[in-house]
Amino acid sequence: MTLEKVTTVSWFDRLKNSIAGIGFGFLLVIGITVGLFWNEGRAVQTQRSLDEGAGLVVSLTPEAIDPAYEGQLIHLTGPIIADQPISDDQFAVTAEGVRLVRFVEMFQWIETSKTESQQNVGGSETRVTTYSYGLDWSDRHHDSSRFEDTADHRTNPAMIYERRIFSLDNAELGAFSLGRTVLDRVGGAQPFPIAAEQIETLRDALGDDSDVRVVDGAIYLGPNPTRPQVGDYRIRYELVPLGTISVIGQQRDNGIAAYNTQAGDSLLIVDTGNLSAQEMFDSAASSNSVMTWVLRACGLVLLITGFSLMLGPISVVASVIPFLGSIVGMGTGLVSTIAGITLGTLTIGSAWLFYRPLTAVLIFIAGAALIVAIRMLAKRKKRSPEEQVATT
């Protein structure tokens, strides 16, 4: 089921919108430039904190608390012990673990749209938007009253169940008490299937008249799982189980807290499994490096977007003649790409000079030496064979 909507945007409106985009593009470029500079400082500060922590950390056994290490950075590893389970009382689901996550999907009408644009002589633009409608599962509510085609039979009820997280408030690691600050960092979530034998418990919790079933380890609310209807629910769970964890943090009284480094960061590292302190610091350093590169890449893309917005009016003006507008658009896209990458790399390089001057100077020297070597090699290749023989 589809619906097509055709709109025409005049050349003047397109130009007005593109001019309005200049200001947003300028602010985007300024903001992302500052963000890229900050990201380099963040990466350096985090790495310095990790290096500082690696030189200070003391590995202890968790069976007893030694007051001599109060306030120091310590490393512990051992099993989590909890004196109570965690529960989703709404569905009477109980588990032994650190965290229980409820995932909810509702079968409902979903609207998708696709727009195709065509430039016309004179600079106007015709946009054809095709709206498609279908039934599918979704973990968020699709408000059918906002659909472009509000047919009576395409009505989604409100979602009365939603995603929820149920967590332990406290637990123990040997003699140490673990609060939410540590427990919320424990990972290793696993599927937690609902047993078919729990159907009676579910009916008691939801009411005997509810259409509740257990299908493939998930709770199904609806009359027929093989032919779902609008408003049916699928509910599944994931559990972070009790198990062995490794923690690096500050010993504070009988618990673990974040350790404030001289570099300016707060160190609190939690990993699943029995890991040495060095393994944990290596993993944290690797994560820091990945995060730095991800933010760099996102920053470059957003810089290109910002320059594209700033140059947008040029291609709109040229689009009075459609093919000319396309050519100019490709040109402004190329300029935006070059400008974004250039500004981004210069910002990153400048940040390195500010935060890591010695490393930056060494890199610049190595780069300059490489450029000189390439130029010398190129000149050598351009010589004729006779000239090369004469010089030998």
pLDDT in tens, 208-226: 667 899 999 999 999 999 9
Length of the chain: 392
What is the model's pTM?
0.81
- Write down the pLDDT at residue 208: 67
- Write down the pLDDT at residue 381: 60
Task: Give the contacts of 320 (CB within 8 A, at least 6 positions apart).
Answer: 11, 121, 122, 123
**Quick check: 18 pLDDT over 70?**
yes
Backbone angles phi, psi at 192, to 5 degrees: -125, 90
Query: Cα 347 to chain center, whole Å?
Result: 23
DSSP annotation of 81: B
Beta bridge partners of 119: 125
3-state secondary structure of 308: helix
In angstroms, rounded to a whole number, what is the distance separating the alpha carbons of residues 94 and 168?
12
In angstroms, rounded to a whole number, what is the distance separating the alpha carbons of residues 144 and 130?
17
Bridge pairing between strands 58-59 and 73-79: parallel
In angstroms, rounded to a whole number, what is the distance separating the alpha carbons of residues 278 and 275?
8
Backbone angles phi, psi at 83, to 5 degrees: -95, 5
In angstroms, rounded to a whole number, what is the distance separating the alpha carbons of residues 155 and 159?
12
pLDDT in tens, 338-388: 888 888 888 888 888 888 777 667 656 765 676 677 668 767 765 655 555
**Quick check: 244 pLDDT over 70?**
yes
| Between 125 and 64, residue with greater pLDDT | 64
- Write down the pLDDT at residue 6: 84
Apex 141 CA angle, 140 and 144, nearest 5? 145
Beta bridge partners of 117: 127
Domain ranges for the chain: 8-51+289-382, 58-107+135-275
> Please, what is the average pLDDT of the chain?
88
In angstroms, what CA-CA distances link 50 with 248, 332, 345? Answer: 11, 43, 26
Residues 79-95 have a mean pLDDT of: 94
- Write down the pLDDT at residue 357: 78
**Quick check: 135 pLDDT over 60?**
yes
- The pair of three-digit structure tokens given for residue 123, joined into one six-digit string: 């600079």
Query: What's the longest Cα–Cα distance across the chain?
Result: 101
- Write down the pLDDT at residue 292: 94
pLDDT in tens, 108-118: 999 999 988 88
Apex 188 CA angle, 184 and 193, nearest 5? 105
- Write down the pLDDT at residue 5: 84
- Write down the pLDDT at residue 240: 96
